[in-house]
Chains A and B, each alone.
Chain A
């Protein structure tokens, strides 16, 4: 039926957006052993910045990619340098980044107030545009997000498997000491990777700004979507994250259409739990960074 097909298509596309939101955390966790909860704030902060610049300067929001990507790359670099200085391990990173998350949330609320923010249709014509293929709509913001996610995931996979840098990352992820012994500047690798992760999150923020209404608590709502995708996709595995995003997106979309929206979280989390129980190996080995 058309309804089911639409649900599936919507699910796939929004899954791309979810994947884009998740890649940053996944890379950071898998390669750098840092569970960076601050990524949620980065995504939202990027969205707010896109909103602000778009509204203040009346420019096309998509162009903001050129602004936020480099900006947040820098942020990622700084954050990683801070972590290195403080010799933070996995567990501690959770605590610290949670602290950072709270600080950023507070800052955003202070700057933009707790009220809803939305780029209007005049400046943001994308939010209601779609391509139609036989009655099924492919929403533009999600479609672009999906394509971007695909490019990034593909790009990261190529990087990790083909380039020297990629191999260096995998070496550092497996055994930082050993990698250093072999002459890899693990610190530089880590810093660059962190910058990339944050830049990806910032890109996700652009699409949030285009497709949704923003308010500070929005970042908290993402916990329940991004974590399942990160785990399902495999830490550090970009293609896996994309696949997981699509799976979750489709599962949510289809269950929503068949059994009502309330069933969606139940379905997605059950899938996650089942997957974790029966295939944790295939999903979470360090070697799966790709």
Chain B
């Protein structure tokens, strides 16, 4: 190598190293605030807050910041959905700081990247708690990461609100608080909710097929808890007298959906239950369309909502939800306002489907737990906050009033609703009291 080239590299490295070292000095914010243009707050009382009055609306929070530490999968396999949680958190922090802060002090969110790896998540939480000495923690995204982080929080006695852990049965820490709307037995309650919805049409399916992503959460919902094997979408369907004509598990990193589509077509179920995540559904539906097949009805467990809307043949597919941007959810002006802010931030960060739904709602609620625990206990003492939450529950914007049942591992009942893609948009359709105006479950075998 010529000397000049070597020098170039040397200089390059030195510069990089200096930059890296200099940045290593910055112990503060891990987030880049997007400077979301927040809509002006309309005077309204924040639900559940015990001391913010209209007068403090314009008072900026002051004093030493309260530091909240957490990680998210900013890179790696979980990154697509983690982006939603990042945006939601940023909106929450901005909003609370603009209206008096927490206990009068501004919140500083220290967000680290766990790279979708549980061991890194665990290490990051140890750092946040023992080196950065944060006052509060919030859970990460992704079941594995949440599990690892929860163990750390438990070790140091930190209250642990988290949003998306799907393996509910495993969480026994007394001070964990989940905002995942399914309650303790999603493997029983979730499928039954769907099946009730189907029966409410008067024309339920007679045959049903299952394609299950080999992800622990979806396996749990479909087949029940590993040891006990109680419940599970498949068993619950059989209890209704429906015939299970297909039951296939597929790997998470499936790239060729043709064979699976062929199998579904071959089994030809009245209703197809896709226990899948992310873009499993659009991929499978597209593959089925390509072989000229379309089931009469479909359900997908935890889809990325946006891509599904743009998929041919996806009309009529159902999923679970906790919040959608239409009445009756939008009857609450504050929910509308917050949703608007989150939408704006999502759009700014380049997320294609910039609307609040289950993920963002769960994230917001977890933050609310933290806020209400601190405000209720009047301090940042972890045990006090934990006790307060268990005794008083939380009043949340998107999930309504929540009570934590210690004998149910702090879970509450299943709050999920069923939504369906109709006319190219998601609408809640069941239970009736939450259905969008003039919308109801649309399903009939052979139709």
Contact = CB atoms under 8 A, between A and B. Distances in A.
- In their complex, do chains A and B touch, with some C-beta pair under 8 Å? yes
A211 B290 CA distance: 10
A218 B74 CA distance: 15
Contacts of B306: 115-116
Contacts of B279: 116, 118, 213, 215
| From B74, B75, B253, B262, residue with most partner A Cβ within 10 Å | B262
Contacts of A261: 248-251, 254, 259-260
Contacts of B425: none
Contacts of A215: 79-80, 279
B255 interface: yes
A256 B260 contact: yes
Contact of B256 (A6, A106, A115, A249): A249
Interface string A247-268: 0010011101100111011000
A209 B445 CA distance: 34
Given A137-B291, A249-B256, A260 B248 contact: yes
B83 A14 contact: no
A155 interface: no
A120 B310 contact: yes
Contact of B262 (A10, A132, A221): A10
A121 B312 contact: yes
Interface in A201-252: 211-213, 215-217, 221-222, 224-225, 249, 252
Interface in A167-186: none
A264 B265 CA distance: 19
Nearest to A9: B258
Interface string A106-141: 100100111111101100000111101000010110
B311 interface: yes
A261 B280 CA distance: 14
A281 interface: no
Given A7-B262, A216-B79, A260-B249, A14 B286 contact: no
A109 B259 contact: no
Interface in B301-340: 304, 306-307, 310-313
Contacts of A212: 255, 283
A109 B79 contact: yes
A257 B259 contact: yes
Contacts of B311: 118, 121
A85 interface: yes
A204 B251 CA distance: 23
A137 to B, nearest CB: 4
A6 B313 contact: no
B75 A10 contact: no
A217 B286 contact: no
Nearest to A213: B279
Interface residues of B, number: 49
A35 B255 CA distance: 23
A10 B81 CA distance: 31
Nearest to A221: B253
A229 to B, nearest CB: 13
B401 interface: no
Interface in B266-291: 266, 278-279, 282-283, 286-287, 289-291
A7 B265 CA distance: 12
B226 interface: no
Nearest to A87: B1
Contacts of A253: 256, 258-259
Contact of A115 (B75, B77, B310, B350): B350
B63 interface: no
Contacts of B349: 113
B352 interface: yes
Contacts of B81: 115
A24 interface: no
B26 interface: no
Contacts, number: 141
A30 interface: no
Interface in B58-87: 74-77, 79-83
A114 B259 contact: no
A109 B307 contact: no
A262 B290 contact: no
B351 interface: yes
B350 A112 contact: yes
B289 A116 contact: no
A265 B251 contact: yes
B90 interface: no
Interface string B1-35: 10001000000000000000000000000000000
Given A115-B350, A216-B79, A7 B310 contact: no
Contacts of A66: none
Contact of A225 (B80, B255, B260): B255
B290 A127 contact: yes
| From A86, A254, A262, residue with most partner B Cβ within 10 Å | A262
A4 to B, nearest CB: 9
B292 interface: yes
B430 to A, nearest CB: 27
B214 interface: yes
A215 B81 CA distance: 11
Nearest to B352: A115
A3 interface: yes
Nearest to B346: A115
Contacts of A86: 1, 5
A130 B291 contact: yes
Contacts of A120: 310
B263 A213 contact: no
Given A10-B256, A87-B1, A212-B283, A117 B290 contact: no
A95 B278 CA distance: 32
| From A117, A128, A253, residue with most partner B Cβ within 10 Å | A128
Nearest to B313: A128
The 7 tightest CB contacts between A and B, nearest first, are: A114-B79, A10-B258, A256-B259, A128-B289, A137-B291, A261-B250, A113-B350
Given A128-B290, A224-B253, 15 more contacts: A6-B258, A6-B259, A6-B265, A7-B262, A14-B256, A109-B75, A114-B80, A118-B307, A128-B313, A137-B290, A212-B283, A217-B79, A256-B256, A256-B263, A264-B251
24 contacts: A3-B263, A6-B258, A10-B258, A106-B75, A113-B80, A114-B83, A115-B83, A115-B350, A116-B279, A116-B304, A116-B307, A118-B282, A118-B311, A121-B311, A139-B287, A139-B291, A221-B255, A222-B255, A254-B259, A256-B263, A260-B248, A261-B250, A261-B259, A262-B249
